[in-house]
């Protein structure tokens, strides 16, 4: 399966962040406290560090979980909190990624267990592997994009870590050994031995981190590069390097590292020349070091002048990333039907959902829209602060996607936050800028989100909103006053075929259709029989199972059994079948592939019975949606 980390490696070098522990210590954490527990006790400190590295230009940020395994947490009496600490860490990193809007990858950081493996030590290999598996499963559940197994002191433990990662999932694995001054690991292995031992296990990347500064690490990097070249492997793992900022010294009770950001930038240029594909920093490095590396990475890369005005919110990136957000959509007369309207009933319509960022920067969402457009998707669904959590305006992001990526959007528009007057004013503005496909929703109540004391409006519900849209199409507002001419909105409505009271849901859908909806989009289902059962109930109520309008079936690719159980038990509007949950349990480490296969199977079964599909990828993994679409030929937009 494709993966953003692997895809982006092919387009040029990537920049990792710097030290987490150094920054936590500088912020007041004591050297003898559990840094990993700060994810729970002081999450704002961890989030601030992620934010600083993203602003410095990092392409990858690591979770604050270096010591968050059972063996290390045991020293602090926290061995029972492995899952909650790692999940929280992943969420903190993802939140900051979403707030920034930058296309940053989140790596789950996994450090050594501190146990010596038999026969030299007393710990069985299977025990060490289970310790790793527990932590990695929690990181996977938290939504990380890849795993970085770092500061591994011996190939024996690194092997167990890789096997554990492969047992719990299919995320790309980066394994980093730590080498001493003599160029050998703590276990005594040379760079050449490391390559010989680990290459057959198939990691996505191999490299070195920690222990020594840039100069000595460069010597190790060159030997690793030579060993990979000598292996004769056609597609060898990428090379990764993350040295310390020199040797630490103790001054005034503080631990100080000597290597300056400028010196580190020079190392970065040298590492790239030596064959490194991913460069970052370990102990002693700060956002200043990462910013210097960013400048070194970008120094020889030409800029795309079309986005110069966004420098304040979009971190510097190579042109390979920037070109994704510089496209313009040709102006289209707003009186004509939208491309979605023209395709309905004539083309099997494919739409994929993108959530707006939690901050100012739309770069990640725009890059996702471009990826999906390139995959043949016809429209992008833009959610309106789902789960009542604050995000960028869905309308604004829809405008940006349409005018920079050149693909139509279906904007989710809720009545939760707007008065009847405000609803109509915003719809008129949307129409004027070409955002004319509207999914009419009532919206999750504020009590579900981060602002439970916020007041909901609900002057009208989704049925009322559909009536408002129909009247705007007729040339008048809800009060009957003329708006000059008729609008050309394409109106979608939602239906949940998994509801307990299907008869009530059928009556509700009938009201939406009678109010003027042009097509239907379903909540995600995992068995086509669920949709057929709803249609039977609808037919019993209204005499026919023919809705009279096109239907886009909702499909949500599952990532793992933990992901499946979370959605089923904790997310309103999502109900999995027992069979789907069982399949995900049985899939084990192959959960992501099984989720894609389940979605592909459902899509193939549904294609003769519905007029399109509405894909909802989790964790912003838009490449998973593209993978699902390989199951059917996606026709070009009408």
pLDDT tens per residue across span 419-461: 899 999 999 999 999 999 999 998 877 655 555 666 677 889 9
Scan for tokens 């669920």, then name that residue.
Answer: 530
526-529 long-range Cβ contacts below 8 angstroms, 24+ apart: 526/556, 526/576, 526/577, 526/579, 526/580, 526/598, 526/602, 527/577, 527/579, 527/580, 527/602, 528/602, 528/605, 528/606, 528/609
70 within 8 A of 82, measured Cβ to Cβ = yes
- For the purposes of burial, counting CB atoms within 10 Å of the CB of 74, is it exposed (0-12), middle (13-18) or buried (19 or more)? middle
d(CA 627, CA 619): 15
Share of the chain above pLDDT 70, in %: 89
d(CA 581, CA 4): 26
Token pair, residue 484, equals 């000059």
Asked whether residue 502 carries a pLDDT value surpassing 80, the answer given is: yes
- Please tell me what DSSP assigns to residue 404: I
d(CA 624, CA 321): 19
Closest CA to 606 of 554, 556, 557: 554
Question: Minimum mean pLDDT among 60-74, 198-212, 308-322, 567-581: which range?
Answer: 308-322
Scan for tokens 């038999």, then name that residue.
Answer: 118
pLDDT at residue 455, as a whole number:
64
pLDDT at residue 312, as a whole number:
28
Asked whether residue 253 carries a pLDDT value surpassing 60, the answer given is: no
- Please tell me what DSSP assigns to residue 484: S
Cα angle, residue 541 at apex, residues 535 and 544 outer, rounded to 5°: 55
Handedness of CA 527, 530, 535, 536 (dihedral sign): positive
pLDDT at residue 388, as a whole number:
56
What kind and span of H or E run contains 97?
Answer: helix 82-100
d(CA 277, CA 240): 6
pTM: 0.78
d(CA 203, CA 165): 10
Parallel, antiparallel, or unpaired: how do β-strands 14-15 and 278-279 relate?
Answer: parallel
Give the mean model confidence (pLDDT) for residues 408-417. Answer: 92
- Sorted by where each starts, the structural domains of the chain and their CATH numbers stand as 30-298 (3.20.20.330), 339-631 (3.20.20.220)
Token pair, residue 181, equals 């001054």
* Helices assigned H by DSSP within 251-314: 261-273, 287-298
572 within 8 A of 600, measured Cβ to Cβ = no
pLDDT tens per residue across span 154-176: 999 999 999 999 999 999 999 99
What kind and span of H or E run contains 260?
Answer: none
Parallel, antiparallel, or unpaired: how do β-strands 238-242 and 519-524 relate?
Answer: unpaired
Q: What is the dihedral of CA 47, 48, 50, 55, to 10 degrees?
A: 140
Scan for tokens 């159980």, then name that residue.
Answer: 565
Q: Mean pLDDT for the chain?
A: 88
Between 27 and 450, the more confident residue is 27
Q: What CA–CA distances, in Å, run from 219 to 154, 176, 198, 212, 419? A: 19, 15, 19, 11, 65
pLDDT tens per residue across span 273-330: 999 999 999 999 999 999 999 999 998 433 232 222 232 232 333 323 323 323 233 3
Between 472 and 458, the more confident residue is 472
pLDDT tens per residue across span 554-566: 999 999 998 999 8
pLDDT tens per residue across span 89-99: 999 999 999 88
Between 482 and 113, the more confident residue is 113
Token pair, residue 522, equals 């379903």
pLDDT tens per residue across span 583-633: 999 999 899 999 999 999 999 999 999 999 999 998 888 999 999 998 776
* Helices assigned H by DSSP within 433-527: 462-473, 502-515
Strands (E), 364-434: 379-382, 408-414
Q: Give the number of other Cβ atoms within 10 Å of residue 31's Cβ.
A: 9
Give the mean model confidence (pLDDT) for residues 529-553. Answer: 95
């Amino acid at each position: 399966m494709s993966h953003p980390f692997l895809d982006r490696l092919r387009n040029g070098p990537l920049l990792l962040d710097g030290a987490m522990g150094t920054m936590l210590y500088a912020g007041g954490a004591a050297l003898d406290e559990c840094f990993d527990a700060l994810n729970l006790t002081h999450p704002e400190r961890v989030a601030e560090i992620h934010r600083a590295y993203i602003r410095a230009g990092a392409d990858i940020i690591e979770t604050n979980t270096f010591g968050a395994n059972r063996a290390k947490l045991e020293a602090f009496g926290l061995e029972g909190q492995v899952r909650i600490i790692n999940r929280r860490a992943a969420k903190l990193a993802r939140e900051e990624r979403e707030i920034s809007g930058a296309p940053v990858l989140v790596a789950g950081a996994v450090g050594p267990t501190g146990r010596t493996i038999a026969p030299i030590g007393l710990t069985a290999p299977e025990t060490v592997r289970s310790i790793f598996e527990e932590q990695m499963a929690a990181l996977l559940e938290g939504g990380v994009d890849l795993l970085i197994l770092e500061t591994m002191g011996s190939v024996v433990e690194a092997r167990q870590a890789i096997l554990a990662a492969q047992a719990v999932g299919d995320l790309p694995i980066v394994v980093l050994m730590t080498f001493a001054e003599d160029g050998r690991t703590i276990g005594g292995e040379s760079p050449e031995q490391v390559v010989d031992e680990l290459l057959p296990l198939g990691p996505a990347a191999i490299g070195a981190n920690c222990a020594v500064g840039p100069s000595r690490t460069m010597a190790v990097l060159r030997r690793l590069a030579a060993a990979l070249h000598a292996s004769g492997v056609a597609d060898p793992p990428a090379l990764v390097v993350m040295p310390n900022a020199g040797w630490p010294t103790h001054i005034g009770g503080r631990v100080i590292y000597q290597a300056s950001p400028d010196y580190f930038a020079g190392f970065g240029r040298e590492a790239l020349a030596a064959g490194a594909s991913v460069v970052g920093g370990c102990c002693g490095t700060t956002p200043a070091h990462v910013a210097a590396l960013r400048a070194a990475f970008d120094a020889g890369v030409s800029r795309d002048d079309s986005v110069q005005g966004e420098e304040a919110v979009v971190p510097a990136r190579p042109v390979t990333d920037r070109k994704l957000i510089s496209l313009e959509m040709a102006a289209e007369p707003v009186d004509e039907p939208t491309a979605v309207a023209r395709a309905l009933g004539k083309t099997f319509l494919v739409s994929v959902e993108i959530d707006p960022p939690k901050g100012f920067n739309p770069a990640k969402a725009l890059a996702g829209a471009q990826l999906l457009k390139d995959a043949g998707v016809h429209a992008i669904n833009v959610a309106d602060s789902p789960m009542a959590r604050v995000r960028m305006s869905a309308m604004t992001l829809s405008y940006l996607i349409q005018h920079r990526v050149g693909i139509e959007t279906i904007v989710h528009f809720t009545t939760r936050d707007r008065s009847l007057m405000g609803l109509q004013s915003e719809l008129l503005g949307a129409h004027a800028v070409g955002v004319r496909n509207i999914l009419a929703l009532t919206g999750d109540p504020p009590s579900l989100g981060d602002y439970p004391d916020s007041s909901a409006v609900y002057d009208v519900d989704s049925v009322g909103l559909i009536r408002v849209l129909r009247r705007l199409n007729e040339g008048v507002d809800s009060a009957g006053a003329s708006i000059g001419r008729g609008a050309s909105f394409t109106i979608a409505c939602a239906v949940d075929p998994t509801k307990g009271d299907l008869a009530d849901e059928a009556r509700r859908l009938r009201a939406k259709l009678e109010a003027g909806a042009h097509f239907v989009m379903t909540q995600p289902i995992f068995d086509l029989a669920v949709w057929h059962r709803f249609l039977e109930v609808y037919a019993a109520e209204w005499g026919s199972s023919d809705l009279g309008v096109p239907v886009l079936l909702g499909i949500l690719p599952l990532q793992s059994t933990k992901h499946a159980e979370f959605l089923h038990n904790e997310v309103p509007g999502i109900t999995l079948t027992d069979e789907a949950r069982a399949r995900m349990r049985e899939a084990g480490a192959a959960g992501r592939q099984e989720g894609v296969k389940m979605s592909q199977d459902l899509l193939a079964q549904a294609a003769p019975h519905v007029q399109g599909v509405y894909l909802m990828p989790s964790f912003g993994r838009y490449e998973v949606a593209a993978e699902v679409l390989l199951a059917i030929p996606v026709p070009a937009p009408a």
